[in-house]
């Protein structure tokens, strides 16, 4: 068995998360292809409406695994973080893909290029969404920690709280602070 196969056999939740991420993009691509290439808007809406089901599947798989007695590990925490970020960023990712697909295949307008204060405001909004995603992830982690109850079983989940703080700090510095300091705060002449 190769290393990846061994890792997935030892960490089935990693396979569930990977399948969830792949499924997320497959449903988006299928929904947009049906909408713009086949011109079947209703079928497209159905496919895109199924995207949140991926989150439900990841959540159910995590609960079933932990309820079955699995010791919480890194991937269980990753599932909670995946859920938080997917719920918060999923809709905007669908809109992002839709704009680009419409431009490429349906003669839609080009994706907007943000500049100046608009770009800075966008980065601050995205950082706010990051904080919300971290908060939802923390709630999911706490729910798992208190539902499982035994300190030995949940100890790896506690390690995700500093990671969430690190993600938020990096996002702050590389997003809005970077834009503020790089001169993007100046208005662009029209």
Residue 189 domain flag: no
Q: Among residues 49, 71, 35, 61, which one has the least CA distance to residue 153?
A: 71
Residue 188 domain flag: no
Count of the separate structural domains present in the chain:
1
User: What's the whole-number average pLDDT of the chain?
Assistant: 90
Residue-number span of the structural domain to which 125 is assigned: 3-181
What value, to the nearest 5°, has the Cα angle with vertex 169 and ends 51 and 187?
85
Residue 190 domain flag: no
pLDDT at 138: 97
pLDDT at 59: 87
């Amino acid at each position: 068995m190769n290393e990846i196969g061994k890792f997935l056999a030892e960490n089935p939740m990693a396979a569930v998360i990977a399948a969830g991420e792949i499924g997320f993009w497959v449903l988006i691509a299928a929904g947009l292809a049906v909408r713009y290439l086949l011109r079947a808007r209703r079928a497209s809406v159905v496919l895109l409406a199924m995207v949140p089901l991926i989150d439900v599947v990841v959540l159910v798989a995590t609960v079933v695994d932990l309820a079955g007695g699995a010791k919480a590990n890194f991937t269980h925490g990753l599932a909670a973080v995946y859920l938080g970020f997917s719920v918060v960023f999923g809709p905007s990712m669908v809109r992002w893909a839709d704009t680009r697909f419409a431009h490429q295949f349906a003669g839609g307008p080009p994706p907007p290029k943000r500049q100046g204060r608009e770009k800075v405001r966008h980065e601050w909004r995205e950082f706010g969404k990051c904080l919300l995603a971290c908060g939802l992830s923390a709630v999911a982690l706490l729910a798992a920690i208190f539902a499982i109850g035994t300190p030995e079983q949940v100890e790896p989940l506690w390690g995700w709280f500093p990671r969430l703080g690190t993600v938020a700090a990096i996002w702050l510095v590389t997003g809005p602070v970077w834009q503020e300091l790089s001169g993007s705060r100046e208005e662009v002449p029209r």
